[in-house]
Amino acid sequence: MTLGTLRLIDFRNFQGLEVDFGGRSAAVWGPNGRGKSNLLEAIILLGTTRSHRTRRDAELVRFGARGYAVSGELSGSAGGRTTLAITYSEAEGKRGSVDRKETARLSEIVGRCGVVCVSPEDVEITSGEPEVRRRYLDLTLCSLSTVYLRALQEYNRVHRHRGRLLREGLGPEAAAHLETWDAQLARWAQPVFSMRREAVSEIGPYAEEIYGALGGREELAVAYAPGAGEEETVSEEKLLAKLRAKRSFDLRTGRTSVGPHRDDMEIRLGGKPIRSYGSRGQHRSAVLALKLAAARLMERRMGEAPLLLLDDVFTELDEGRSDALAARLAREGQTFATGTDREALRRFLPGAEGFSLEEGGALVHAG
């Protein structure tokens, strides 16, 4: 999948922008604060229907405007073309369209354009809390499957309701109410568990191979750590039984102790937890390996290479890792890289179109 023309209206700092990337990789440079990350955020929005930086669409609207519009023309490897658009306004909320026809649900856009973004903050995937690793899996799977997206949304909704019931308490009536919510929680938790487990089993070998290609000497191992025990498969019936068994404990603590919201992804280097023992350089390489592994997973499942977005990544890497990444990018699909150093971007993406992001949000083609 490649991106041709991208159009932005009142999105972040862009009052109006139209640029034709022609399906080619692009290097975008400019001083910090010009909006380079905002440009990549717009592409992510097209692929996932949501921002990776905020959950509030109102924050994406240019100051003083009442809404935003983002659209992109995409081409597949078989020659097919699709136009995706996301709009938001205070009055009408968020809407999506495919080939200029409004969709009944935003989820109908998911899976049409795979996107993988790498930014300096992603080091939290290997060094931060489990929530960050769950988000990595969710962003990957939500880009691939409307089934997963629906299951995750429903699970989160039921989990919030159950948590409120646990905190408020209803005396003798609590057990009867919890039985109803537990059945729903188990129903939606099962596909989340199974699809996360399957994804990690595929991502792990890819990440190990890519980590070595990026210069890593240690073995990178990735394993799924479900929040419902270590069983190879977790059925809806087993999940419901676990929830019932933990019900008294959950009522005392006011929180749900079993479920995908407690999942983690164990990441080890040379048999040791990278979170505790990894160096800064090892963390950077492992994150790149995990992100590129997610791109490989998307390509295998979708039949199209996803758009790869690198947000100021090369400034965070030493020369050896930068050269290894540049060599790797030649095997990836259309890549968008941002940074402040024009010459560095030219060096690492020699075949990319160059663009200078000027003050005021003007994107100037520099060849």
CATH of residue 342's domain is: 3.40.50.300
Same domain, 312 and 205: no
Out of 303, 332, 358, a domain closes at 303
| CATH label of the domain that carries residue 276 | 1.20.1050.90
Q: Are 211 and 285 in contact (CB under 8 A)?
A: yes
User: What's the confidence (pLDDT) of residue 79?
Assistant: 81
Q: Which of 198, 200, 193, 199 is nearest to 236 (CA)?
A: 193
Strand order in the sheet with 67-75: 14-20, 2-11, 67-75, 81-89, 93-98, 101-102
Same domain, 70 and 215: no
Long-range CB contact pairs, 60-63, < 8 A, 24+ = 60/11, 60/12, 60/88, 61/10, 61/11, 61/88, 62/10, 62/11, 62/12, 62/13, 62/14, 62/15
Same domain, 145 and 157: yes
User: What's the confidence (pLDDT) of residue 367?
Assistant: 75
User: What's the confidence (pLDDT) of residue 329?
Assistant: 86
Out of 263, 288, 303, a domain closes at 303
Residue 84 DSSP SS3: strand
Rounded to whole angstroms, the Cα distance separating 292 from 326 reads 13
Rounded to whole angstroms, the Cα distance separating 325 from 21 reads 22
User: What's the confidence (pLDDT) of residue 233?
Assistant: 66
User: What's the confidence (pLDDT) of residue 319?
Assistant: 84
Same domain, 343 and 293: no
Same domain, 249 and 320: no
Question: Residue 226: which region, alpha, beta or left (left: phi > 0; alpha: psi -120 to 50)?
Answer: beta
CB proximity list for 111: less than 8 A, separation 6 or greater:
143, 144, 145, 146, 302
The dihedral formed by the CA atoms of 90, 149, 41 and 366, expressed in degrees to the nearest 10:
-130
Q: Do you know the residue count of the chain? A: 367
* Number of domain units in the chain: 2
Same domain, 14 and 64: yes
Same domain, 168 and 274: yes
Rounded to whole angstroms, the Cα distance separating 314 from 293 reads 18
User: What's the confidence (pLDDT) of residue 7?
Assistant: 97
Q: Are 209 and 290 in contact (CB under 8 A)?
A: no
User: What's the confidence (pLDDT) of residue 171?
Assistant: 66
User: What's the confidence (pLDDT) of residue 332?
Assistant: 86
Buried b (16+ CB within 10 A) or exposed e, 159-185: beebbebbeeeeeeeeeeebeebbebb
Out of 251, 283, 303, a domain closes at 303
Q: pLDDT tens, position by position, for the chain (367 residues)?
A: 899 999 999 999 999 999 999 999 999 999 999 999 999 999 999 998 989 889 899 999 999 999 999 999 999 888 889 999 999 999 999 999 999 999 999 989 988 899 999 998 999 999 999 999 999 999 999 888 889 999 999 999 999 999 999 888 766 676 778 899 999 999 999 999 999 999 999 999 999 999 999 988 899 999 999 987 766 567 899 999 999 999 989 988 999 999 999 999 999 999 999 999 999 999 999 999 999 999 999 999 999 999 999 999 988 788 888 888 988 888 888 999 999 999 989 988 988 999 999 988 899 998 7
Same domain, 246 and 105: no
Rounded to whole angstroms, the Cα distance separating 78 from 253 reads 55
Same domain, 299 and 319: no
How distant, in Å, are the alpha carbons of 64, 117, 294 from that of 308? Answer: 32, 6, 10
The pTM of this model reads: 0.91
Q: For residue 350, what are the domain limits? A: 1-114+304-367
Alpha helices in 73-173 (DSSP H): 124-127, 130-142, 146-168
Q: Are 363 and 335 in contact (CB under 8 A)?
A: no
Same domain, 179 and 151: yes
Same domain, 133 and 209: yes
Same domain, 44 and 152: no
